Structure 1
Amino acid sequence: MSLHNKKIEEIVSIFDTDLNKGLSNEEAKKRLEKNGKNELKEANKKTIFQIFFEQINDVMIYVLIVAAVITTIVNKEFTDAIIILLVVIVNAVVGVTQELKAGKALEALKKMTNPKAVVIRSGKTFEINSSDLVVGDIVLLDAGRVVPADLRLVETSSLQIEESSFTGESVPVNKDASVILEEDTLMSDRINLAFMSTLVSYGRAKGVVIATSNDTQIGKIADMLDTEDEKTPLQVKMNKLGKQLGYIAIVICVLIFVIGIMQKRGAVEMLITSISLAVAAIPEGLVAIIAIVLSLGVTRMSKKNAIIKKLPAVETLGSVNYICSDKTGTLTQNKMTVVKTFTKDIDENLLTKAFILSSDAKIEGDIQIGDPTELALIAKGINEGILRDSLDELHPRVDEYSFDSDRKLMSTLVKNKDSFRVYTKGALDNLLKISTHIVVDGNVVEFTDSLKEEVLEKAHDMAKEALRVLAVAYKDTDTKISSDEFENNLVFIGISGMIDPPRMQAFDSIKKAHKAGIAVVMITGDHKDTAFAIAKNLNIASSEDQTISGPELEEMSDEMLEKVVTNYRVFSRVSPVHKVRIVKALRKNNNIVSMTGDGVNDAPSLKSADIGVAMGITGTDVAKGASSMILTDDDFSTIVVAIEEGRNIYDNIKKAIIFLLSCNLGEVISIFIATILAWPIPLIATQILWINLVTDSLPALALGVDPISTDQMSKKPRDKDENFFSQGAWFRALVGGTLIGTLTLSAFVIGLIEKGYSLNTLSMADEPSLAYARTMAFIVLTVSQLFYAYTTRSSEESLIKIGIFKNKFLNYSLIIGLVLQFSLLYIPVLSDAFKVTKLSIFDLDIVILFALIPVIVNELIKKFIKFK
């Protein structure tokens, strides 16, 4: 029900209350019992068990669990299965911990919306907990008090309310109870209403409670936050990959089992063989490796002032192609600053002193009290060495005429030695009407039309730059005069233009984002001209055609908005609902959207975006709770740094996946071909598991922390639907895996031939001969994979160009892998467990040569074949 368009008498009637006496205590108690506490209702919380189940409810996890069962069947013992299950459990515990730390948005909302409230009940005024407020209560407001519920104002006296965390406006809003508004008036323009959780910065008021709890505007925001989290692009791709690997494993099992039966092999033998192939097809360490790579990325990013709340968000950042940024406090400093002044006087100090003496604001160290525009004037004085305390001592205030929205002026009367002086500041138009003289070069002269025109022209220039213009004047008097005599026959001093200025770091960051193919969009509650001026200054928008306002959005359907949303770079005068619509429209156009913000009003859109980014210093707890990432320095440039890190992490994950799948393909090919040809299996299940969990994992982890390439931010964002096998990755994986597999099988065959068997008699090989041949195959497979990791560091640049030994962790993995691998040959206990034996020098040379071939071939592919 709209209440901003109704008269006060109607409001009183609708809520059956009394403006002077308020509700009776008995009636308030009844309404509280009927409607409940004035607190935001929390959504049903998930239990730890539910969160844990969500972490393991993933196709890749199921594949790992199946692998654990298969391993137990093959090996007839539980050690390997326990290792796999530990990987699953550790991964799930990490996820549960992350989620318990996150999801605090509703709790933060509840905490910030339960201040004290001054009410009138049964004709008496007293203070109660705001949670006990009911609709129809009469609430009193004064400066510094948090609005405890949604109110229809019925009396206002110079009331200003700070709504930047709610509407996005950077200056307090003047409120007026007497105004009757149109029904379709925007929420941010409803000046006869006060909204729950906003702050009274000036004046006094009386209001009727018209909504409590989740019926308030902030309650509606809380309801918007209570939505299911969507899966990130990485989670979607990993689920798809997991399904594909699962299907492949099943097909391999069935196919090999059928082939074996057709070859008249034993059913038990073929079951073990097919299960071995399935184990070879599944990279057991993949889930753990990705979790570790993401965790390491989170740690690195925390050192760069970006706190990641959910691991997959690291990768999501790397695919972002739209940054939707709040203006106030994100692109700007959330601090009004005087940037231009104009006076005809030779002494500009007079202008500064006049503004300070006609203000109420104070700055004491880090403590700032007062209206942001007045604080800007006080800060200007401090920068010029003009301190408020010193001025107040020399010119103590005697009287004042408070600001009100009709006059748009504020006046003070101060003692000036043996006389008095009036200082008046406020709207230029109003001040021009009551000024008869002006200070020019230290002299007071008549304020002629031509001089007024000059002042108006300067003010117009400031307005074109979206500066908020304030004017100031004075009047000397020998005696103390009453306030109704303050504002006439004034001497005009000058004007100041102020704005919430852009963050200096934002300029370079936006330039980098554009170079990386990322569009930057400003979404703000400020007026169109102010928003566009900032956006143009920051090179976000180049023409006013790229701006659109909230009222214009209201006239668009969701379908229409989806069609035109990419045409705009500035969205002004928007509500929280508009922000969510904008983010969703961009995502409908297959964009990966990041939304930055710091206010309560940003929370729903932060949660709706692919990745929400909250400010850590100025951000509200609500915004932090709804976000995926928090910037500890509130620096927009940190977002660009995080995107660069995210891009690199995705590339590294892709390298690790392609590497692991190439290696596993090699295992599958060697076993598959041997089975088809009715040869002995070249690798046993224990050897395969060793490779998958140990030898493969170390290089894969090292690839996961590969250094950032220098051209990372000169590339366009990758397509949302791009899979891990794009840009020729499938071809390189196929070639690499085929080579590794055939060379492994070749080493196996060479080993058996050296023992006196021919191709026709390989199936009759005895156990010692098989152990020797399998050792050759085992070494070729493991060492070739250790070498192959180096060539997968880049899909385009040669090993020499990227630097063979630049990734120190890959060097460590090579050394450790070789040491571990050859330990299996020369430590009897291990060689017995893995059924391997020592090799001759000649055969060692053969396996090393074979291990180098896949690297050489992949380097030739880079040189002669280019993929798009």
Structure 2
Amino acid sequence: MPKKKAVNVEPETPFHTFSVEQVAEHYSTNTLEGLSSAEAAARLKIYGSNELQGNGGVKWYKVLWRQVANALVVILLIATALAFATKDFAEGGVILFIIIMNAGIGFWQEYNAEQTMEALRNMSSPTAQVIRDETRVTIPNNQAVPGDIMVFEDGDVIGADCRLFEVFNLETDEALLTGESLPVQKNLEVIEKAEQSLGDRLNMVFASTTVVKGRAKGIVTTTGMKTQIGKIATTLMEVDGNEQTPLQKRLNKMAYFVFLAAIILVIIVFAVHKFKYSNEVAIYAISVAIAIIPEGLVAVVTLTMAFGVRRMAEVKAIVRRLSSLESLGAVTNICSDKTGTLTQSKMVAVRMWLPSDGFYRMTGTGFVPEGDIFRQGEQKNEEFEMQEEQIPTGSGSDHYLRALEAASLCNMAELRRTAHPEANGEWTANGDPTEIALQVLAYKAGLAKPDLLEQGFRLVAEFPFDSSVKRMSVLYQGPHTEEGPGELFVFLKGATERVIGCCTYWRDGDVERSLQGEKGTERETFEDMITDRMNTLAEKGLRVLTLAYKHFDPPAGVDLVHDLVRDQVETDMVFLGLVGIYDPPRAESRPAVLKCYDAGIRVHMLTGDHPSTAAAIAKEVAIIPEDVPTKNNPLIMTATQFDAMSDEEVDKLAELPRVVARCSPNTKVKMIAALHRRNLFASMTGDGVNDSPSLKAANVGIAMGQSGSDVAKQAADIVLTDDNFATIVQAVAEGRRMFANIQKFVQHLMSANVAEIVVLIVGLAFKDDDGNAVFPMSAVEILFLNMITSSPPAMGLGLEPASETNMHEPPRSAKQGLFSFEVVMDMFVYGFVMGALTFANFCIVIFGFGRGNLGYDCNATYSPSCKWVFRGRATSYACLTFLLLAHAINCRSLRESGWTPQNLSTLKYNKMLWISLVVGSILVFPVIYIPGLNHDVFKHSGISYEWGLVVAALILFLMWAEFYKMIKRRVMKPLIIPTNSNLEMERMRTAMSQSDSLDMKKQ
């Protein structure tokens, strides 16, 4: 029969709530015959190719445009044009060189970082197996269409989102979408909740995930950009990745202010000259404009960030975008993924419970089978660790050894120690993560599977793990004895509820007790005990597996290889015990989180794991207090709860949740948006494709370099090469250090500009014999001061080491930003004092020594009548030079004296700063005394006794600076506001107690 024409389906259609028959009817397909080739071709035209859209790669001209498209560069270009227009080619050439150098450095850094492949295009499988025309065929994956019957096998990359209708032991790795560290077992059961999270849609498989085990068939429901991975790609394209950072915004605002001030000053210059145009007036106006424009600022900012990039690389953080580095210092909230970021992404068996012995605790991490096993007895917590008894390797009770035999033999995982010299004998593992954890436990106990096989254990039959029964069993023959062949044993492991159902006995020491009511023992009592112990383990965030065994006596004439039936083998089992497995946190995660609290930064965990696991890990790494309950806790939510809340409801929360479990990509983006609405500065860390939209939406996206997907790295601003959460703390410290240093050198540069403006504007009052204004400082002197004298010390200030209180202060977003009231006040106060002292020296030379002789045409050439004007300019130039160099020491601290022995002793660690101070001091003399250079270029001449004025001005400035800082220390509020982890924990407890638990239950 001809099939009906397919219709377009909205991506929100909850196919996991549909039965297989409903999905087949929806797409007019047949699970046995598949689509016809003609129908598939028609649908391909309707739905489009099954591939992800990209942005066309990295555009070099866009990267270059980002380097020059800012207000300060535009102002410098205008200054360059004006300089060339008045034939002042030296000034114009220098400014143009600054612009080109800045653009070149920024372009090279960002363009190299942007050279990553379009990973989203390459994540889908290149081919797919489908049923077409009643035949199983292999097609290019981009030709798959909704309604196709797709076939999956072990190791396949799934090519589209599908509703399963046939599964056999199917497990898929969905970590890139959900963050879930364990493979997901799939089934066919219909799910009623339409808003179910991706990790719990067990009857669906998703494009770009991988088949870990088993095989299956499914009906393709969505393709291309409508798949779950496609939605992530769509979100990435919708998120504005070019939003300016706070520093960029503030520098642009400063540039507009400078531009406006330059225009006003130029108007003032022409107004004083009654708007009569002449070259002298134009040159003076340009000099004033040059004086107020911080020509070196763009270069200093760019070079400071480039040095910051190098420092970040040393702590294993690669900066992909220069502008993101300073943003780290403003971070108020870090939203972190769990798996592979806070945890090791390696399952480890850490607890075991046996009915006869009680609890056991295991040490060690990862795949390395090194660690100890301690018997704790029947306590349910850590309060009695002093009573622990270490179990020697290869020994223990019979019950203990039998349980470890079950863990070792009912296991297909393999541990190997690499023999390659470069690998340093590292341990590697192959197999299911939970089986690897059990195998490592067996190695620690001295019951490694290879050793047991050498002792004579022989595998007879295996019933592999089946998602429908959630257990696995093996039949082994024990070592041969003098009396004959060894005994037969069945070992069983799996989900507790499925294993207990197979048990009719439980092991109590050397006794096997019945669960059928003998001697007063009832199954319900036993199961209550098991449930209690399971809850004890689950409260620690552990995944619980159950072990069982039995002696096997096969019926006569039964072939142990071919005639065994699973249901008959897995009966009358003896319960052995429980094993708790979890993905342990990194050792450095908890200290790193506590350092975040000390720095006033809050940490959120957004993970695809189950709520109990997520909460337990969050408590262990100090994201939430250990003494708060897990249930009905507003600090802990599921994605279903959080997503169901409107933006208004989220904004009314006293505290945003610190743990969100079962996260989807949209949940993470919603959290970032909620933080932004609270005017908080958010960073997102992650490694999977599911993290990429939030990485791009966050103010600072931080991807994991080792375990991270290419998509996550491409979306992030910073990539950690060691996947270490603690590196983020170092990165934040570096961001704070750099921002503080930017404040220091901006204050230094702008103070110089203010000083120059004071000198030049007040100097308009002096007229020479021809009625023209006399320059207290020449344009070349100003440009030399801005570029050669002031910029190198400013670069040195940009390399200042971090202060001791750097990571014990709140994020700067809680303050007033780059141009705080104090910084602006300092700019004008220091600038005015330096300008006043400089102009005072000029006046003393002109009117004290030169008796007010201003000569004529002294702005252009030297003549005997210009003697005192040229000496006054030299005195002004020398005075301002040494004031600026001294002010660089002053700018190392906003309030503390820079001239104490302790502070001066740290100057040796900043080579750039002290070398620039020495070189800047030396350069004064050739500039003043070299013939031709002084008269013809700088428009000044050599001086002698005027040096006394320079020294006097320097002493007065230093005295004033120390007095000014002393007043600030006494009058202004302290800069340091203490923050610590204890205060943060108490604040979370308070927020939790104030929340309405009834509302939480409704949600």
Query: With structure 2 as the length reference, what TM-score do the two structures score?
Result: 0.83
Amino acid at match of 2:465: F
Counterpart pick for 2:262 among 249, 260, 270 = 249
Q: Which moved more, 1:582-591 or 1:35-44?
A: 35-44
- Once residues 10 and 437 of structure 1 are traced to their aligned partners in structure 2, the CA distance between those partners, rounded to angstroms, is 44
Which structure dedicates a bigger proportion of its chain to helix? 1
**What are the superposed Cα offsets for residues 354-406 of structure 1, whole Å, 9 maximum, x if unpaired?**
12322222333455333221221122223334333344553333222233344
Task: Provide the residue aligned with 1:702 in structure 2.
Answer: 796
User: Unmatched 5+ residue regions in structure 1?
Assistant: none
3-state SS, counterpart of residue 719 of structure 1? helix
**What are the superposed Cα offsets for residues 262-305 of structure 1, whole Å, 9 maximum, x if unpaired?**
7xx76442222122101100011100100000110010010001
Amino acid at match of 1:770: V
Cα separation, partners in 2 of 1:137 and 1:97, compared to 1, 3 Å: farther
Equivalenced residue count is: 865
- What's the CA shift for 1:36? 3.6
Counterpart pick for 1:834 among 937, 941, 949 = 937
- Once residues 806 and 337 of structure 2 are traced to their aligned partners in structure 1, the CA distance between those partners, rounded to angstroms, is 26
Task: Provide the residue aligned with 1:470 in structure 2.
Answer: 545
Task: Provide the residue aligned with 2:861 in structure 1.
Answer: none
Counterpart pick for 1:795 among 894, 904, 922 = 894
User: Unmatched 5+ residue regions in structure 2?
Assistant: 1-12, 358-396, 418-426, 480-484, 516-520, 555-559, 768-772, 859-863, 974-1003
**What are the superposed Cα offsets for residues 596-641 of structure 1, whole Å, 9 maximum, x if unpaired?**
1111111100100000111111111111111111111111111011
Cα separation, partners in 2 of 1:835 and 1:164, compared to 1, 3 Å: closer
- Once residues 599 and 617 of structure 2 are traced to their aligned partners in structure 1, the CA distance between those partners, rounded to angstroms, is 22
Task: Provide the residue aligned with 2:589 in structure 1.
Answer: 506
**What are the superposed Cα offsets for residues 722-777 of structure 1, whole Å, 9 maximum, x if unpaired?**
23331512222111101111111122222223553238989999333322111111
3-state SS, counterpart of residue 728 of structure 1? helix
Q: How does 1:771-810 map to 2 (within 5 A)?
A: 771-799=870-898, 800=900, 801-803=902-904, 805-806=907-908, 807-810=910-913
User: Are residue 745 (structure 1) and residue 836 (structure 2) matched?
Assistant: no
**What are the superposed Cα offsets for residues 808-838 of structure 1, whole Å, 9 maximum, x if unpaired?**
3211011111122212123335324433556
3-state SS, counterpart of residue 655 of structure 2? helix
Q: How does 1:420-439 map to 2 (within 5 A)?
A: 420-439=488-507
User: Are residue 495 (structure 1) and residue 582 (structure 2) matched?
Assistant: no
Task: Provide the residue aligned with 2:604 in structure 1.
Answer: 521
Cα separation, partners in 2 of 1:198 and 1:380, compared to 1, 3 Å: same
Whether the aligned pair in 1 keeps the contact of 2:344 and 2:585 (CA below 8 Å) is: yes
- What's the CA shift for 1:312? 1.3
Query: With structure 1 as the length reference, what TM-score do the two structures score?
Result: 0.95
Task: Provide the residue aligned with 2:64 in structure 1.
Answer: 52
Cα separation, partners in 2 of 1:829 and 1:380, compared to 1, 3 Å: farther
3-state SS, counterpart of residue 404 of structure 2? helix
**What are the superposed Cα offsets for residues 537-591 of structure 1, whole Å, 9 maximum, x if unpaired?**
2221133331122111232112322332734211122211011011011011111
Amino acid at match of 2:466: D
**What are the superposed Cα offsets for residues 649-677 of structure 1, whole Å, 9 maximum, x if unpaired?**
00001100010000111000000001035
- Once residues 574 and 148 of structure 1 are traced to their aligned partners in structure 2, the CA distance between those partners, rounded to angstroms, is 23
3-state SS, counterpart of residue 566 of structure 1? coil
- What's the CA shift for 1:90? 3.0
- Once residues 955 and 926 of structure 2 are traced to their aligned partners in structure 1, the CA distance between those partners, rounded to angstroms, is 21
Whether the aligned pair in 1 keeps the contact of 2:855 and 2:865 (CA below 8 Å) is: no
Whether the aligned pair in 2 keeps the contact of 1:322 and 1:593 (CA below 8 Å) is: yes
Amino acid at match of 1:423: F
3-state SS, counterpart of residue 821 of structure 1? helix
Q: How does 1:596-615 map to 2 (within 5 A)?
A: 596-615=685-704
User: Are residue 277 (structure 1) and residue 288 (structure 2) matched?
Assistant: yes
- What's the CA shift for 1:843? 1.5
Q: Which moved more, 1:465-474 or 1:126-135?
A: 126-135
Whether the aligned pair in 1 keeps the contact of 2:548 and 2:574 (CA below 8 Å) is: yes
- Once residues 252 and 140 of structure 2 are traced to their aligned partners in structure 1, the CA distance between those partners, rounded to angstroms, is 49
Q: Which moved more, 1:667-676 or 1:336-345?
A: 336-345
Whether the aligned pair in 1 keeps the contact of 2:878 and 2:950 (CA below 8 Å) is: yes
Whether the aligned pair in 1 keeps the contact of 2:856 and 2:866 (CA below 8 Å) is: no
Q: Which moved more, 1:641-650 or 1:78-87?
A: 78-87
3-state SS, counterpart of residue 680 of structure 2? coil
3-state SS, counterpart of residue 211 of structure 2? strand
Q: Which moved more, 1:516-525 or 1:817-826?
A: 817-826
Cα separation, partners in 2 of 1:352 and 1:838, compared to 1, 3 Å: farther
- Once residues 439 and 473 of structure 2 are traced to their aligned partners in structure 1, the CA distance between those partners, rounded to angstroms, is 16
Whether the aligned pair in 2 keeps the contact of 1:599 and 1:620 (CA below 8 Å) is: yes
- What's the CA shift for 1:855? 3.0
Cα separation, partners in 2 of 1:845 and 1:442, compared to 1, 3 Å: farther
Task: Provide the residue aligned with 2:381 in structure 1.
Answer: none
- What's the CA shift for 1:16? 2.8
- What's the CA shift for 1:132? 3.0
3-state SS, counterpart of residue 793 of structure 1? coil
Amino acid at match of 1:363: L
Task: Provide the residue aligned with 2:674 in structure 1.
Answer: 585
3-state SS, counterpart of residue 221 of structure 2? strand
Q: Which moved more, 1:804-813 or 1:310-319?
A: 804-813
Q: Which moved more, 1:344-353 or 1:737-746?
A: 344-353
Counterpart pick for 1:322 among 333, 354, 357 = 333
Task: Provide the residue aligned with 2:951 in structure 1.
Answer: 848
- Once residues 330 and 72 of structure 1 are traced to their aligned partners in structure 2, the CA distance between those partners, rounded to angstroms, is 55
- Once residues 885 and 635 of structure 2 are traced to their aligned partners in structure 1, the CA distance between those partners, rounded to angstroms, is 53
Q: Which moved more, 1:283-292 or 1:432-441?
A: 432-441
Task: Provide the residue aligned with 2:249 in structure 1.
Answer: 236
Cα separation, partners in 2 of 1:233 and 1:835, compared to 1, 3 Å: closer
Amino acid at match of 1:783: F
- What's the CA shift for 1:34? 4.7
- Once residues 270 and 683 of structure 2 are traced to their aligned partners in structure 1, the CA distance between those partners, rounded to angstroms, is 49
**What are the superposed Cα offsets for residues 767-793 of structure 1, whole Å, 9 maximum, x if unpaired?**
333221111111111121011100110
**What are the superposed Cα offsets for residues 455-511 of structure 1, whole Å, 9 maximum, x if unpaired?**
443222111222111111112224334322121111121110111111110111111
Amino acid at match of 1:638: T
Whether the aligned pair in 2 keeps the contact of 1:104 and 1:626 (CA below 8 Å) is: no
**What are the superposed Cα offsets for residues 668-692 of structure 1, whole Å, 9 maximum, x if unpaired?**
0000001035462111111111111
- Once residues 193 and 810 of structure 2 are traced to their aligned partners in structure 1, the CA distance between those partners, rounded to angstroms, is 46
Task: Provide the residue aligned with 1:160 in structure 2.
Answer: 171
Counterpart pick for 1:127 among 112, 133, 138 = 138
Q: How does 1:394-405 map to 2 (within 5 A)?
A: 394-405=456-467
Counterpart pick for 2:742 among 653, 661, 665 = 653
Amino acid at match of 2:429: Q
User: Are residue 536 (structure 1) and residue 619 (structure 2) matched?
Assistant: yes
- What's the CA shift for 1:421? 1.6
Counterpart pick for 2:435 among 374, 382, 388 = 374
- What's the CA shift for 1:136? 2.0
- What's the CA shift for 1:122? 2.5
3-state SS, counterpart of residue 205 of structure 1? strand
3-state SS, counterpart of residue 235 of structure 1? helix
- What's the CA shift for 1:26? 3.8
- What's the CA shift for 1:166? 0.7
Cα separation, partners in 2 of 1:725 and 1:185, compared to 1, 3 Å: closer
Whether the aligned pair in 1 keeps the contact of 2:494 and 2:546 (CA below 8 Å) is: yes
Amino acid at match of 2:850: G
- Once residues 605 and 560 of structure 1 are traced to their aligned partners in structure 2, the CA distance between those partners, rounded to angstroms, is 21
- Once residues 148 and 306 of structure 2 are traced to their aligned partners in structure 1, the CA distance between those partners, rounded to angstroms, is 51
- What's the CA shift for 1:442? 4.0
Counterpart pick for 2:535 among 460, 471, 475 = 460
Whether the aligned pair in 2 keeps the contact of 1:28 and 1:134 (CA below 8 Å) is: yes
Q: How does 1:681-720 map to 2 (within 5 A)?
A: 681-719=775-813
**What are the superposed Cα offsets for residues 55-75 of structure 1, whole Å, 9 maximum, x if unpaired?**
21110110111121233345x
User: Are residue 570 (structure 1) and residue 581 (structure 2) matched?
Assistant: no
Where in structure 1 do 4 or more consecutive aligned residues deviate above 6 Å? 759-765
Task: Provide the residue aligned with 2:918 in structure 1.
Answer: 815
